[in-house]
Homo-oligomer: A and B are copies of this chain.
Amino acid sequence: MDKPDKKGRIDILQVHVRKVSLDPQLSLPDVAAITPGFSGADLANLVNEAAIVATRRKADSVTLADFTAAVERIVAGLEKRNRVLNPQERQAVAHHEMGHVLVALALPDGDTVHKVSIVARGIGALGYTIQRPTEDRYLMTKAELERKICVLLGGRAAEKLMLGHLSTGAADDLAKATQIAREMVMRYGMDEALGCVSHDSQRSPLLGTADAVYAPPPEPVSEATQQQLDAAVAALLDHNLQRASRILHTNRAVLERCSKELLKLETLDTQALKQLTGDLVREPDMG
């Protein structure tokens, strides 16, 4: 559960790369920089995958490009270019993914978007957007969590705006956004009305500092409290869906242009996105 930080990842990588021949140019800190959130096991797997990638291209040593390809495989599943979407589906996926991207770019202090693609990957995924935070994070603020929700709902907002209807493609986004909203309300006490009551019973040393940790069963709550919890979660989601919709409405032309390009090229990286979104109207930073 306690993922290694960048320094920890470098240490772990050093252990695993002993058995492979590395390109002399390769800097392990660069590899660590593109693997935030990776566990020790993920890093071990990564080194193997990178070595396989290098072998496939019949190279003598593993380069950063090999690691980058391996990261992509692990993050979003193995490439599977042979899955063919019909034109309507491809367009919906393109709008959906660009919705995530433009909301992420328009929000203040957003994470960088590294890549967006409509090439199907892995089980269930029809497209994907890779956002990498520029550094490891230990704390998140209420504003940051709301931005995460807003980006997740950007896909649905884009489909609605551009196609006028909803599809089944947002199910995963809704589940993730709901989960974040629930933790904000129930674990982090971020709803003003509900105050700082924790509904996340995990440890409770009452008297003294060295008491044993125990996990009691979830505490019952009244219907009245449950209604407040439900309303608070719904309000967080509604608010950020409105927000994502507003951003995309303002930037409709950009969205249209980007989706078109994405449909053509299938994949866009940071560089391409920067060129396509030069006139993006950003949300004013209230923070």
Contact = CB atoms under 8 A, between A and B. Distances in A.
Interface in A162-177: 163, 165-172, 174-177
Interface stretch (A216-224, A257-265, A274-282): A216-224
A235 to B, nearest CB: 9
Contact of A183 (B7, B194, B206): B206
B172 A203 contact: yes
Contacts of A140: 167-168, 207
Nearest to A202: B175
A135 interface: yes
Contacts of A177: 196, 198
A182 interface: yes
Interface string A229-250: 1100110011001000000000
A200 B138 CA distance: 28
A161 interface: no
B139 A169 contact: yes
Interface residues of A, number: 100
A124 to B, nearest CB: 7
Q: Which of A194, A197, A233 has the most CB of B within 10 A?
A: A197
A82 B219 contact: no
Nearest to A122: B2
A108 interface: no
A204 B176 contact: yes
A202 B176 CA distance: 9
Interface in A133-170: 135-143, 145, 153, 156, 163, 165-170
